[in-house]
Structures are given as structure tokens and as C-alpha cells.
């Protein structure tokens, strides 16, 4: 199975993917697999499978990613967050994902549980995605790691510039590729990309000119 970084590295053209979320019912499971089969005829470069808020779909996310990878030979990337788990629990989950033969992972901080305004790290857990990604690298689990980015700024960041500076730390910690939050105005994405290029200029190992 290919690493997502290899896919981006081997083409100058667009790379496209579909995002699926784990169904809540057995009927939904059947429908999802029918949909995956239908969409696979469009030859997406990869697909991703979301992780329910607070880890509510933890096992299901991995199970679906593994099934898609095995049955359709499409790299299927599970999303993963550090909400509600300490380092030992995170490590156990990551090892389980790796044992399914999954090479690619979207490593995210996650949102605070409903009703909890601010994100608070779980005792013994991680403050942000940068810490999670550093941990995955230190544990040598050999994942190709994706991170999230926000063309219109992450809500917790004071400014877009501050957010992009944090994004640089995320890449330096070991993120191999980034997937953006949805945006509706191309101009917002262009502004974001220009800022990324400006802030990354001095980082020789990262090529953001493509
Ligand atoms: C493509 C994509 C897919 C997603 N899929 C899911 C999903 O499946 N399940 C789910 O629950 N959520 C998902 N989310 C939502 C995501 O969990 C939330 O947006 C969450 O609030 C932030 O996650 P993050 O990994 O981007 O966080 P981070 O990168 O940790 O950013 C969160 C805040 O911390 C700041 N920050 C980051 N690094 C540092 C640092 N080193 N020092 C100081 N501050 C820092 C950032 O500027 C930002 O304000 C997804 C988001 C995206 C963009």
C-alpha cells in the first residue's frame, strides 16, 4: 500500500480523495461499502475515514480503513485524535492500527467534548497535534502522518499568522502531508498559501512551491 507522501511526491497534477464517516447502524455499514465500491471506479488516490468526536468510533474507524485497503487496494487513512486518552492508551491504539497493516494516519488533536468550552488535555495526554505527531515519530511506528490545517484559521488561534507558525511546528514535528479544513472562498486559500510560503521560506527540507 502506498504512502500518501509518495502519491503527492510522484505527481504534479491534482491528487484527490474521498472522506467517509463510520456509520452507526448495520444498514449503514452495508451502504458505506456499496458506496466505496461505486466511488472506487473513479480511482481516488486515497480515502480517509473520520474518527467520531471523543473517540466514539475508535474501533470502527480502523475496521473500515482496513477493509477498504484490503478489498479495494486504495490507501485508506484513518483519522485519529488524542481526545480522552493518555499516552499509554494512545500508544496501544496506534500499535493496533499499525498491526492492521495501515501505513497512513491523520493525526489530530480533536475538539473538546460537548459542553466543555476549551480544549483541556487529558492528564498524561497531549495538548495539541504537534505533541501527538512528535510522539508517533519518537515511537518509531513508521506511519506516514497527515495533519490538519485551517485556511480560515483554527478557532483557538488568535491570528492566521500564529496558526501558520504552529503549523510549521507540526510539519517540523513530523507531519508528512496536510489536509485543509473545508473553505468556501478560493481567495482565503490563496491568502493562506501565500502566508505559508512566506513563513516556510527558511525551511529548506519542506517544499511548498508545488
Ligand atoms: C482535515 C481535517 C479532518 C478532521 N477530522 C476529524 C475527525 O475525524 N474527528 C475529529 O474529532 N475531529 C476532526 N477534525 C477536527 C479537529 O479535530 C479540530 O479542528 C481540532 O479542534 C483541532 O485539531 P488539529 O489536529 O488541527 O489541532 P492542532 O494542530 O493541535 O491545533 C489546535 C490549536 O492549537 C494550536 N497549536 C497547534 N500546535 C501548537 C503548538 N505546537 N504550540 C501552540 N499551539 C499549537 C493551533 O494553532 C490551533 O489553534 C478534522 C479537522 C481537519 C482539518
Ligand 1 pocket, residue 128 CB under 6 Å? yes
Please report the pLDDT score of residue 204 as a whole number. Answer: 44
Q: What is the pTM of this model?
A: 0.94
Does residue 205 have a pLDDT over 70? Answer: no
Ligand 1 pocket, residue 129 CB under 6 Å? yes
Ligand 1 pocket, residue 60 CB under 6 Å? no
How far does residue 72's CA lie from ligand 1's centre (Å)? 29
Which ligand 1 atom sits closest to the C-alpha of 119? Answer: 21
Over the chain, what is the mean pLDDT? 93
How far does residue 40's CA lie from ligand 1's centre (Å)? 28
Structure confidence at residue 210 as a pLDDT band (50, 70, 90):
very low
Cell of 123: 492528564
How far does residue 107's CA lie from ligand 1's centre (Å)? 9
Does residue 188 have a pLDDT over 60? Answer: yes
Cell of 135: 510522539
The residues that bridge with 20 in the sheet, in sequence order, are: 49
Average pLDDT over residues 95-101: 95
Average pLDDT over residues 113-141: 94
Average pLDDT over residues 113-140: 94
- Residues marked active site are found at 19
Using DSSP, state whether 18 is helix, strand or coil.
strand
Which ligand 1 atom sits closest to the C-alpha of 53? Answer: 11
Cell of 148: 490538519
Ligand 1 pocket, residue 170 CB under 6 Å? yes
Contact 62, 102 (CB under 8 A): yes
Ligand 1 pocket, residue 181 CB under 6 Å? yes
Does residue 207 have a pLDDT over 60? Answer: no
Using DSSP, state whether 195 is helix, strand or coil.
helix
pLDDT digits (tens, 9 = 90+) for 51-93: 988 777 889 999 999 999 999 989 999 999 999 999 999 999 9
How far does residue 33's CA lie from ligand 1's centre (Å)? 28
Contact 65, 78 (CB under 8 A): yes
Q: Which residue has the higher pLDDT, 202 or 195?
A: 195
Using DSSP, state whether 182 is helix, strand or coil.
coil
Average pLDDT over residues 16-33: 96
In which element (H, E) is residue 77 found? Answer: strand 76-81
pLDDT digits (tens, 9 = 90+) for 48-58: 999 988 777 88
Amino acid at each position: 500500500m502506498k504512502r500518501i507522501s509518495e502519491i503527492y511526491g510522484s505527481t504534479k497534477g491534482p491528487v484527490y480523495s474521498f472522506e467517509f464517516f463510520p456509520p452507526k447502524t448495520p444498514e449503514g455499514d452495508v451502504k458505506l461499502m456499496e458506496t466505496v465500491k461505486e466511488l472506487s471506479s473513479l480511482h481516488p488516490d486515497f480515502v480517509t475515514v473520520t474518527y467520531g468526536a471523543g473517540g466514539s468510533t475508535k474501533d470502527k474507524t480502523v475496521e473500515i480503513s482496513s477493509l477498504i485497503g484490503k478489498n479495494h487496494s486504495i490507501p485508506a487513512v484513518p483519522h485519529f485524535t488524542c481526545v480522552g486518552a493518555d499516552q499509554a492508551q494512545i500508544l496501544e491504539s496506534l500499535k493496533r492500527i499499525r498491526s492492521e497493516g495501515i501505513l497512513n494516519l491523520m493525526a489530530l488533536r480533536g475538539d473538546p467534548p460537548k459542553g466543555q468550552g476549551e480544549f483541556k488535555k487529558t492528564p498524561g495526554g497531549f495538548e495539541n497535534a504537534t505533541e501527538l505527531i512528535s510522539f508517533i515519530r519518537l515511537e518509531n511506528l513508521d506511519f506516514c502522518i497527515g495533519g490538519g490545517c485551517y485556511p480560515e484559521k483554527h478557532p483557538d488561534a488568535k491570528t492566521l499568522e500564529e496558526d501558520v507558525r504552529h503549523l510549521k511546528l507540526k510539519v517540523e514535528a513530523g507531519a508528512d502531508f496536510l489536509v485543509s479544513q473545508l473553505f468556501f472562498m478560493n481567495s482565503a486559500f490563496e491568502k493562506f498559501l501565500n502566508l505559508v510560503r512566506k513563513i516556510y521560506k527558511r525551511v529548506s527540507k519542506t517544499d511548498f512551491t508545488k
